[in-house]
Amino acid sequence: MDSTRYGPWCLIAGGSEGVGAAFARKLAASGINLVLVARKPEPLAAVADEIRRAGKVAVRTLPLDLSAEDAAERVNAATADIEVGLLIYNAGAEGRLADFVERDLADATNMIARNITVPTILAHHFGSQMKARGRGGIILVGAVGGYAGGPGMAMYAASKAFDYILAEGLWYELKPHGVDVLGLVLGATDTPALARIGMRTDTPGFVAADPAEVAQEGLDHLGLGPIRHTGGTEATAQHLRAMPRAEAVTLIAQSSKAMMKS
């Protein structure tokens, strides 16, 4: 990773575990300073302390629920004195599987804030700075599940669809100005978030990808966008996008059911 092109600082939203933490470790090894944002202070501090002990880069942390009304303002304020050359938005995992109308409406509005409103504001804020400098990068992390409505995760799927479409548009707009944008679309990935909703990581035909390998794919393909499907999911993703919609939704439902722990 070129620290002169994507540094000196990277902001990682959702940087306390899984793919976000893997991004942090890899970027720190490349000499890029880090601002890590996540909701839970303890795992956030643990990742930051681990990276600081290596002694190569500076690390800032911001414990923050990205669905909070002032979340984007607080992120922008926390980075006002530094140059962010890379934005990685990795937040917004599904917390549980349940039918849309059976949930509290706040579940949906919070998901909209985390996966739509806040990444939009941050991409605009940092993207405009990168455009003015003529360099930088943005990675918006999406999910294959965003290619079809997902029963039990309808709002999550809808919001992740927004993220990859936004990435495609920004890729085209910012590329002539030296700013690389990538929509990193994940399949099943062996993360704590996946485990928390009760999904297996070793289902035959649905073996979950390793977070470190997924993060490396993202870094390797930044600049080759607009979209990278991780963990060998390219064929599945394109199949979902092309098939009749009722069949696509049914396939997502069957796949999710197969991965649930009994």
The pLDDT value recorded for residue 96 is 75
Marked catalytic residue, from 6, 89, 156, 164:
156
Lowest mean pLDDT: which of 106-120, 146-160, 211-225? 146-160
Q: Which residues contact residue 147 at a Cβ distance below 8 angstroms, ignoring those fewer than 6 apart? A: 161, 237, 240, 241, 248
- Quick one: three-class SS letters along the chain? CCHHHHCCEEEEECCCCHHHHHHHHHHHHCCCEEEEEECCHHHHHHHHHHHHHHCCCCEEEEECCCCCCCHHHHHHHHCCCCCEEEEEECCCCCCCCCCHHHCCHHHHHHHHHHHHHHHHHHHHHHHHHHHHHCCEEEEEEEEHHHHCCCCCCHHHHHHHHHHHHHHHHHHHHHHHHCEEEEEEEECCECCHHHHHCCECCEECCEECECHHHHHHHHHHHCCCCCEEECCCCHHHHHHHHHCCHHHHHHHHHHHHHHHECC
Query: What percent of the chain is modeled with pLDDT above 90?
Result: 64
* Mean pLDDT value of segment 114-127: 96
Position 197 scores a pLDDT of 53
pLDDT at 238 over 90: no
What domains are defined for the chain? 3-259 (3.40.50.720)
| Burial degree of 183 (CB within 10 A; 0-12, 13-18, 19+) | buried
The average pLDDT across 108-112 equals 93
State the chain's mean pLDDT as an integer: 89
**Confidence band for 98, pLDDT divided at 50, 70 and 90:** confident
Catalytic: 156?
Answer: yes
- Can you give the pLDDT at residue 237? 85
pLDDT band at 75 (very low <50, low <70, confident <90, very high): very high
For the segment 170-204, what is each residue's pLDDT rounded down to a tens digit? 999 999 999 999 999 988 766 666 555 555 556 55
pTM over the 0.75 mark = yes
